[in-house]
Amino acid sequence: MRKNKFKLIISILVAVLIILAGCIAIIYVGKKTLDEKTAQINELQYEIDANKKVVYVAKKDISAGETLVVNENIMKQEIRTGLEEEYYLPESAVGGVAILDIRELEPIMADMVTTLKVQPDTREYEIAVANLMTDQQDYDYVDVRIMYPTGEDFTVLPKKPVHDLILENCVFNTYLTEDEILRMASATIDAYTVTGTYIYTTRYVEPNLQEESVPNYVVRPEVIDLINSDPNILSIAKETLNLEARINLEQRLIGLSEDTLKAVSEGHGIADTAKRSAQLGVQYSANSEDSEEIVEEGTTENTETAAEGSSETTTP
């Protein structure tokens, strides 16, 4: 009897030890797993905290064209994002204009807004003489450039926003100052009177990061005189007011052969409004022997041909 009782006690002790060992093993494995999970949670929490940023979000739905005003249609809010702060609307751009629709509580990215600089002489202007890109879109930023049949290429208007685009008609609106309007008018006359002259647009890849180019188009002498006498113009790009450079340009244009002018015109697929010539012959105000030579050589067509050429319209 005692022997059986002793065996029972031994069996119970063994069972207790086995259970105890199992509990210890479970606790050890559980603690190890818990430590690993805690480390993962801490790592994720650190990552989350590191990606916290306070940015501007839309307080309500914002339509394209609306001005962004703090506490009216935008507000600051903490979000979690892996993007750098430079991708979001900076303080300097508050007060800008939305270039697309923004949903309520959507973070506002830097490229959703344009910081239009309005000068006292800024006006909305329709451009209908430029050859546009086949995939031109509203809210693109473009340079308007002019290329002559000599291969010389100049920037007429730098970094202009495109809006109210009618692509099939090659028409869009933008904002120009007084001197830019006159510069564009001068370029339009050049495109009309010099065969093979081509006005076109080039698009900025990252308009929020890229600085605007410097206009280097040399305007016509009549426009130079008008710019110098126009009280509406507050600041002028001096690079465009170089009469000597304009005279040299026209000398090069007049030296082109009729075949060259025709080839360039047909290569661009543009209307030959100048009848394969460079109808210049401008009376310059500068006292220069070069200007007299241009007056004599510039009139390459008779009066009848010039009149016929002026009756046609430029097709972008």
Question: Are both 142 and 254 inside the same structural domain?
Answer: yes
Q: Which two tokens stand for residue 102?
A: 């923004």
**Of 114, 135, 155, which residue sits at a domain end?**
114
Q: How many domains does the chain have?
A: 2
Instruction: Kindly state whether residues 86 and 226 are assigned to the same domain.
Output: no
CB 194 within 8 A of CB 298: no
Tokens, residue 220: 């016509």
Residues 127 and 194 in one domain: yes
Confidence of residue 125 (pLDDT cuts 50, 70, 90): very high
Task: Report which of 15, 78, 76 is spatially closest to residue 51, judged by C-alpha positions.
Answer: 78
What CATH number should be reported for the domain holding residue 94?
A: 3.90.1210.10
Report which secondary-structure segment, H or E, holds 26. helix 2-50
Range 182-187 average pLDDT: 89
Comparing CA positions, the residue from 239, 153, 262, 238 lying closest to residue 201 is 153
CA dist 213 and 206 (Å) reads 13
3-state secondary structure at position 139: coil
The Cα 160–Cα 142 span in angstroms is: 5
Comparison of pLDDT for 244 and 176, the residue scoring more: 176
Residue 316, in any domain of the structure: no
- Identify the residue with better confidence: 234 or 268: 268
Do 229 and 80 lie in one domain? The reply is no
- Choice between 172 and 312, residue whose per-residue pLDDT is larger: 172
201 belongs to a structural domain: yes
Q: Per the confidence metrics, is the pTM higher than 0.75? A: no
Is 137:90 a contact under the CB 8 Å cutoff?
no
**At residue 200, does pLDDT exceed 80?**
yes
Q: Are residues 231 and 131 in the same domain?
A: yes
Q: Are residues 88 and 136 in the same domain?
A: no
Residue 108 and residue 131 share a domain: no
pLDDT tens profile 260-312: 888 888 887 777 777 777 766 544 444 444 444 433 444 343 333 333 333 34
pLDDT classification of 233: cutoffs 50, 70, 90: low
pLDDT at residue 2, as a whole number: 67
Q: Is 302 found in the same domain as 217? A: yes
Structure-token pair, residue 154: 């100049």
Confidence of residue 242 (pLDDT cuts 50, 70, 90): low
Residue 233 lies in a domain: yes
Segments forming the whole domain that contains residue 101: 52-114
Asked whether residue 168 is domain-assigned, the answer is yes
3-state secondary structure of 258: helix
pLDDT digits (tens, 9 = 90+) for 17-57: 888 888 888 888 888 888 888 888 877 777 777 778 899 99
Q: Which long-range contacts (CB under 8 A, 24 or more apart) does 227-232 make?
A: 227/179, 227/182, 230/178, 230/182, 232/121, 232/178
Q: What amino acid occupies position 161?
A: P
Residues 257 and 172 in one domain: yes
* pLDDT of amino acid 292: 42
For residue 205, being part of any structural domain is answered with: yes
The DSSP element (H or E) to which 123 belongs, if any, is strand 123-127
Q: Which of 42-46, 99-103, 231-235 has the highest mean pLDDT?
A: 99-103
What pLDDT does 138 receive? 86
Residue 35 domain flag: no
- β-pairing, 113-114 vs 123-127, is unpaired
Q: 93, 116, 108, 111: which is closest to 61 by C-alpha? A: 108
Question: Are both 221 and 270 inside the same structural domain?
Answer: yes
- In 115-152, DSSP assigns E strands to 123-127, 141-147
Domain check: are 105 and 139 in the same one?
Answer: no
On whether residue 240 sits in a domain, the answer given is: yes
Let me know if residue 37 belongs to a domain: no
